[in-house]
């Protein structure tokens, strides 16, 4: 019997995850950060690189470091969520993501920003995989489809608005 072939069902006497609406809001709010950190830096990159005296290669790694580690760590983050708990991985991912956002905001060296963005991608992988798994465990049937629809809305609206935010602060 494959884990991928059959979804895990709650056993008799085992509780399903509770807190539908609060859970949905928490996961959706956590997930809205992810696309903003792709589009925002892409818009700010030319002035960021110029301001820090960075070359084109180092500047491009602001985007690439995040994307590579995010994509590379999705599967591992999902496995860690299954092993150590989805909520724990989600919260740890949020903590890593926010801490590295602070480092990026305070850094005055492009290499430090590149490294922080790479670590930020790891946190983002934890947020996305654990958040989706929490929704899948919390909701069933049509409610699950609606929950994933709600999860997609903030993300979809964050992609275009990420181009607007960098110059507004």
Domain limits, the chain:
33-163
State how far the Cα of 119 lies from the Cα of 93, in Å rounded to an integer: 10
Whether pTM > 0.85 for this model: the answer is: no
3-state secondary structure the chain: CCCCCCCCCCCCCCCCCCCHHHHHHHHHHHHHHHHHHHHHHHHHHHHHHHHHCCCHHHHHHHHHHHHHHHHHHHHHHHHHHHHHCHHHHHHHHHHHHHHHHHHHHHCCCHHHHHHHHHHHHHHHHHHHHHHHHHHHHHCCHHHHHHHHHHHHHHHHHHHHHCCCHHHHC
What confidence score (pLDDT) does residue 64 get? Answer: 93
Is pLDDT above 70 for 150? Answer: yes
Higher pLDDT among residues 36 and 144, named by residue? 144
pLDDT score for 13: 43
What is the maximum span of the chain, computed from C-alpha positions, in angstroms?
A: 62
pLDDT per position as a tens digit, 5-25: 445 555 444 445 556 888 888
What does the mean pLDDT of the chain come to?
83
């Amino acid at each position: 019997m494959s884990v991928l072939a059959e979804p895990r069902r709650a056993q008799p006497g085992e509780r399903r995850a509770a807190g539908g609406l609060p859970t949905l809001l928490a996961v959706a709010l956590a997930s809205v950060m992810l696309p903003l950190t792709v589009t925002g830096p892409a818009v700010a990159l030319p002035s960021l690189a110029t301001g820090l005296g960075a070359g084109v290669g180092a500047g491009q790694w602001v985007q690439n470091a995040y994307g590579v580690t995010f994509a590379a760590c999705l599967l591992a983050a999902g496995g860690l969520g299954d092993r150590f708990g989805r909520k724990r991985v989600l919260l740890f991912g949020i903590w890593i993501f926010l801490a590295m956002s602070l480092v990026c905001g305070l850094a005055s060296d492009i290499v430090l920003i590149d490294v922080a963005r790479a670590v930020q991608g790891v946190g983002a992988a934890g947020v996305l995989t654990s958040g989706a798994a929490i929704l899948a465990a919390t909701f069933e049937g049509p409610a699950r489809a609606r929950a994933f629809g709600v999860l997609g809305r903030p993300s979809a609206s964050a992609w275009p608005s990420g181009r607007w935010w960098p110059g507004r602060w």
